[in-house]
Structure 1
Amino acid sequence: MLLPLKPLVAALALTGTTSTVTAAPLFDSVTTFLSHLTNPPNAAQHLDLQTPGADPTGLNTLSTLGSSAKSVLQKNQAYLLLINATPFTLRRTGGHSYQMPVWDASFPEVVQPGESIRIKIEAKTHKDDAAEMRYVIEELKNQGQGQGGEIEFQYRGHSGPLLQVEWKSLASLNNPIGSVRALTWHQGNNIPFVLSAAPSSLNTSSHNLNPNQPGFSFDPSKHLIAFPGSLPTSSWMKTSYSRLHCLTLRQLSLPGTHNSGMSLLTGGTPLVKALPASVQCHSSSMTVGSQLASGARWFDIRPVIAGGKWATGHYTFFNGIKLPSGLEQIPGLGDLAKEIGALGGGDKDRALDGWQGGNGQLLSSIISEINTFTAQNPGELIVINLSHGLNTDTFSGSGNSNAQAHLSQQEWDNLMTELLKLTNRATHLTLPNIDLSYLPLSALLPPLDPSLPLNSTTPLRASTVLIVVDDITSSSSSSSTNTLTRVNTSPFAPQGIFFRRQLSIFDSYANTNSLPAMMSDQLSKMQQHSQKKQNDDDDMDMFLLSWTLTQPVETMVTGSIVQYAEEANRALGEKLWAGGQMGKEGRYPNVVSVDAFGADGEVTGLVAGINWFLAEECPAL
């Protein structure tokens, strides 16, 4: 069997793991080595979903077929993920379809409060394919507006494929009656639509739902939100402030990004330079500034010194992988070991000795993007979590033994001094060792008018950047001793830089490339955490849902971290809300951390639904 050399070399690139720990040997024989390369594990093991291809309708691969065969085999298929994060009941009122093999029977009669429904959609890819299905909010349909409270889901093949929502006789925040909103089409995968409202919306003691009677206070155009359309992703916290102002970080849910600065490759080891996708966790267009604009508010920043400059980094330390014996005897692979050794920092018998990885955005670029965003978008809370600091300039060459390349305290001091260029730092939080997690949003965001007291009730708030350091530092007391201690942030405390125990959060990733295994791991940990939270009288750390897949070495020939992450993100809304378990025993994440954070803001819309429906309600301002 003759396999191309370059892809095999690429297959031994960085695994995509995110911690600087020693990697275990991956292959112990030629047989297992080649088996992993030719039959890599598939990340897209989610129900009946398939990995989206570059040609989702199969037009190219079916080009040799006759027109009748094409008509039978081609189809546009996706799943409407309808999340009813409201106290209301959605009831189907009717619809019809034309040339849609799967539509009418997929829609349930009723969608209960807090329920998520996955609705299969299938069309023939004709331009005149079309369908509609209407739902009414039962509690609003008799408001004196005829058939009030009705929305309609529509499929249109002529623009296609296109799935959209028309607000027939129901309005929501920023979605007036008669407006139409398109949903982002995901071929063969979930298309989320989230409808959210606070539980008290159904409480007739505080809301009279009949607008013809005195005291009517529930206004869907103000108190009902939907994704997409209701909350601008660049200002979703400002738009939601009246709903969220009393909530602490222990009660809020924030969209977050994992390895936030890795949207591009600005340098790194030779093996990773040959395959940038092995360390890039976000598409090249999704820099930290773009992630902010799309709604992310928690950022996993991993600072490195690279060429004397501060950048973000994604590195793993390997003790080396012993190459399969007899590799040179396989036809076509005679020079493989030599090339792997040269690129991977090892020799002819070992590969991936020492540090492997790459650098992402420069810190100066990230600081500039954050400052621009906070100047243009007051009222947003941003958390920068700094960890995994490394000095890549101390990495030695082949077989380097510098496994503890942590930043020194002096280097951290230099970094924190650089971070003082960030405007809107939380310098107004001056109490020593303050626990940030117990502060309400109103205390974290100072008034936009600096002449007002910090406890002012004005909804006009300035943006705040919380900088949290969570790392260890190395200090050599002698040539043979290396002592590890926590980074000392106390000299910078008055400047709005905090240590991790001031914002303690449970963060444990699954370390697997299997989507079912990752989902089971994270949802189980969230359940266990919520149970402990109840038993310990709410005195527990915050919870970070690490919805990320770890890409193994052998799949480097078939995909990238971003491709893996896009599959995981499509399953997020469905699995997080499955079975109506969200909210039970305080069960919802404080941070939802993902790779491949999308510009469509779907993760932001899901998290906003959590805040509006599951979090404690705040008094009216």
Structure 2
Amino acid sequence: MRFSQALALMASFTKVLLVSAQTNVCQPKDRTFSTEQTPAGSHQPYNIFQNPTSSLSSSKFYISIVNLTPHRIKLENTASYQMDTFEFGDIPQGRARQNRIKYRNGWATSDDAGEAYYRLDGTDKKFVLRIKGTGSRVDQRSVTLDLSGMNLGQRVYRFPGGETTVALVITGSNKYGFHASIKHDYGGWMRMIYNTIKDRPIRHLIMTGTHDAGMSKITDKINSIGNSFNTQNQGINIYDQARAGSRWFDLRIASIHSNNDASRNNGFWILHVNDENADLAIGNSGESLDEVISEINKFTRENPGEVIFFSIRYLVGRYEFPDRGPITWNLQIWNDFLSKLRAINNRCLNLDLSTGLQNRPASWFMERNENKGCVILLLDGQNLKGDVPKESFADGVYSTSRMQVRDHWSNMGNVDAMAPNQVQKWREVTRGGGSDFNQLYIAQWLVTPDALASTAFGLQAFAIQQTNPSLYWAGVSGMDPERYPNVLLVDYIGVQQKDQTGWDSLSAEMYWFAIGMNLYTASENCGVSSQKSPLLRRSEEAFKIEGRDDAWNGIIFANGTTFNNPPPTFHPGRIEVLRNGTVFANGTVLETSIPNPWW
């Protein structure tokens, strides 16, 4: 090859690289996030919630779809039989829609059924929602989320109560590949989208958090009146919470002391009490600190490269009968506590604190400990007195003040008040650009019922029937690429049906919501992401690395039973014959029965 030809070839190659680099730059003209508003949704009415008979026999239900893709999700048609209401519609990019269902006259029989047929605009991907009733009770009414047309499988859900919501979260793109909340994926979701988030400061990420994370059981280490109804906040332990997507753990730790001898420390336990400094502390204990450490070590061993935040409060002692006020920690108790924390693997030791930790990029944490990631211990030491330290840099223990945080707790007893309050507050801050919010924002998406209500109905019921379902329409409606919380603290992460806490029974909406918000919503903000959204530019090679496209077309049934290889024709709830009287989306009513054209 002549020298002149070599120069020409090199110039051509350089031009290709420059064009490629330019096309991968985030530009406002590429934005796909829709400004279109979907119809307002409905929270479960409190009178239905507090009346088990009314809830059990309710005839109204909702299915919320969250679209975290650059494709409009378009309704092609619906077909319903013996339904008073069957309202479904399009879901614009970045938006959510709560679709409405009401069984005729409040009753349901084996004939009552409906199907909603969707496709993702600009792709060949389709999915179907199938609603079925076999009787008049809530537990006899179900929905099948059939995403087999996207190679993402099927899932059958029962509604968690009367006038409640089942949610479906879809993220990805035709270039990147699609994912949905049918089931959980690999536990390490941050590593899975490393290329997307590695250069973003922590204050630009979106993470799931678990409120009172260690209260996944009641252990009665203090003799108080707290029970599983009014004091337990989670249904699964720390290990499973992390697998379900949580990266911010709200932990309240206390030492428990003998009634007769304050010097006898019976270990460190997670507590949830009304006031850790009150003369009489009302509440109970959950997991031991030893259990928490063992569980997070198991998770990080299986999922290297994640960033885990332990936000630790209380740090006082309480007597077994907690009626004599708190016991202030001395150096011996502090040293015993620090000795326990040293058993946590992959702590981040001696971090550079010249800037707030919220300003450090995700990769700064993920690549530490030989790419094993980071467990960051943040202590609220307001109860530590005298010469007791509040930090230990050599042990990876830092004051909460090292990360500038705004934590908003609504302190409201019902979701109707809490949801708009949370949305209003996080929309007051902006991400990216000259007015970028320079702190980490924590939204507490939970209600705070009084002692009577929490004891009568249970914190679990509030979470799975009211607050968590409302996130997927009310919360999403208040988020856009410039306005979103960094941490969404929730109760009972993953629990969709009361007391069904086995891993296979858990729902995966929070897991995929966190992934989708980082992949799609935040990536549409050029002040957050200098590169073009990965969902618009991802190459096939990069997709295999980051998206882990493991096609799965199995079925998960309402009781958690999983059928990994069903026959291709097996679709629970599918309507073979559309009966006389079937109503379509345009209002057409069948006058004679016909074979289902979508069969």
Corresponding position of 2:597: none
The verdict on how the C-alpha distance between 1:116 and 1:371 changes in structure 2, with shifts beyond 3 A counting, is same
2:187/2:243 contact within 8 Å kept? yes
Alignment of 1:436-515 (within 5 A): 436-446=357-367, 450=370, 461-475=371-385, 487-489=389-391, 492-515=392-415
SS at match of 1:111: coil
1:409/1:473 contact within 8 Å kept? no
Corresponding position of 1:227: 181
Match status 1:304 vs 2:225: no
**Distance in structure 2 (CA, Å) of the matches to 1:565 and 1:91:** 30
The verdict on how the C-alpha distance between 1:383 and 1:475 changes in structure 2, with shifts beyond 3 A counting, is closer
SS at match of 2:420: helix
The verdict on how the C-alpha distance between 1:116 and 1:392 changes in structure 2, with shifts beyond 3 A counting, is same
One of 174, 184, 190 as aligned partner of 2:165: 190
Cα offset for 1:85?
2.0
Corresponding position of 2:5: none
Corresponding position of 2:22: none
SS at match of 2:187: helix
Cα offset for 1:57?
7.7
**Distance in structure 2 (CA, Å) of the matches to 1:129 and 1:52:** 27
Cα offset for 1:242?
3.4
Alignment of 1:287-326 (within 5 A): 287-307=237-257, 308=265, 309-317=267-275
Corresponding position of 1:422: 344
Instruction: Give CA deviations for 1:289-342 in whole Å, capped at 9, x if unaligned.
Output: 2212222111011110013101111123499xxxxxxxxxxxxxxxxxxxxxxx
Letter of the 1:572 counterpart: L
Letter of the 2:49 counterpart: T
One of 136, 141, 158 as aligned partner of 1:161: 141
1:76/1:161 contact within 8 Å kept? no
Cα offset for 1:597?
1.8
Match status 1:265 vs 2:191: no
Alignment of 1:209-224 (within 5 A): 218-219=174-175, 222-224=176-178
Corresponding position of 2:490: 594
Corresponding position of 1:38: none
Corresponding position of 2:49: 51
Instruction: Give CA deviations for 1:425-448 in whole Å, capped at 9, x if unaligned.
Output: 223x64245532222222211279
TM-score with structure 2 setting the length: 0.69
SS at match of 2:48: coil
TM-score with structure 1 setting the length: 0.67
Letter of the 1:500 counterpart: T
Letter of the 1:182 counterpart: V
Cα offset for 1:559?
1.9
Cα offset for 1:260?
0.9
One of 180, 205, 210 as aligned partner of 1:252: 205
**Distance in structure 1 (CA, Å) of the matches to 2:286 and 2:149:** 48
Instruction: Give CA deviations for 1:342-382 in whole Å, capped at 9, x if unaligned.
Output: xxxxxxxxxx9632222111000111111111112223321
The verdict on how the C-alpha distance between 1:535 and 1:412 changes in structure 2, with shifts beyond 3 A counting, is farther
Corresponding position of 1:387: 313
SS at match of 1:368: helix
The verdict on how the C-alpha distance between 1:182 and 1:235 changes in structure 2, with shifts beyond 3 A counting, is farther
**Distance in structure 1 (CA, Å) of the matches to 2:385 and 2:373:** 36
SS at match of 2:298: helix
SS at match of 2:419: helix
Q: How many residues align?
A: 459
Instruction: Give CA deviations for 1:244-264 in whole Å, capped at 9, x if unaligned.
Output: 333321111111111111122
Corresponding position of 1:521: 421
Letter of the 2:182 counterpart: P
Match status 1:569 vs 2:460: no
Letter of the 1:79 counterpart: Y
SS at match of 1:519: helix
**Distance in structure 1 (CA, Å) of the matches to 2:217 and 2:311:** 20
Corresponding position of 1:324: none
One of 76, 92, 112 as aligned partner of 1:112: 92
Q: Which segments of 5 or more consecutive residues in structure 2 lack a partner in the other structure?
A: 1-41, 258-264, 495-505, 524-528, 543-599
**Distance in structure 1 (CA, Å) of the matches to 2:95 and 2:45:** 19
The verdict on how the C-alpha distance between 1:362 and 1:396 changes in structure 2, with shifts beyond 3 A counting, is closer
Instruction: Give CA deviations for 1:182-207 in whole Å, capped at 9, x if unaligned.
Output: 3563332111111224xxx6xxxxxx
Match status 1:559 vs 2:457: yes
Instruction: Give CA deviations for 1:125-170 in whole Å, capped at 9, x if unaligned.
Output: 3334332221222222xxxxxxx23222222446953322333654
2:244/2:510 contact within 8 Å kept? no
**Distance in structure 1 (CA, Å) of the matches to 2:515 and 2:126:** 22
**Distance in structure 1 (CA, Å) of the matches to 2:433 and 2:192:** 34
Identity %: 21
Cα offset for 1:552?
1.1
Cα offset for 1:46?
4.6
2:222/2:322 contact within 8 Å kept? no
The verdict on how the C-alpha distance between 1:135 and 1:271 changes in structure 2, with shifts beyond 3 A counting, is same
**Distance in structure 2 (CA, Å) of the matches to 1:52 and 1:394:** 34
Cα offset for 1:507?
0.7
SS at match of 1:571: helix
Letter of the 2:398 counterpart: F
Instruction: Give CA deviations for 1:215-234 in whole Å, capped at 9, x if unaligned.
Output: xxx53xx43332224x5162
Letter of the 1:603 counterpart: M
The verdict on how the C-alpha distance between 1:89 and 1:317 changes in structure 2, with shifts beyond 3 A counting, is closer
One of 286, 293, 296 as aligned partner of 1:360: 286
Corresponding position of 1:86: 69
1:81/1:116 contact within 8 Å kept? yes
Cα offset for 1:610?
1.5
Letter of the 1:278 counterpart: N
Cα offset for 1:556?
4.8
Cα offset for 1:536?
6.7
Q: Which segments of 5 or more consecutive residues in structure 1 lack a partner in the other structure?
A: 1-43, 59-73, 141-147, 202-217, 320-351, 451-460, 478-484
**Distance in structure 2 (CA, Å) of the matches to 1:154 and 1:388:** 48
**Distance in structure 1 (CA, Å) of the matches to 2:177 and 2:359:** 26
One of 427, 432, 438 as aligned partner of 1:540: 438
Corresponding position of 1:180: 154
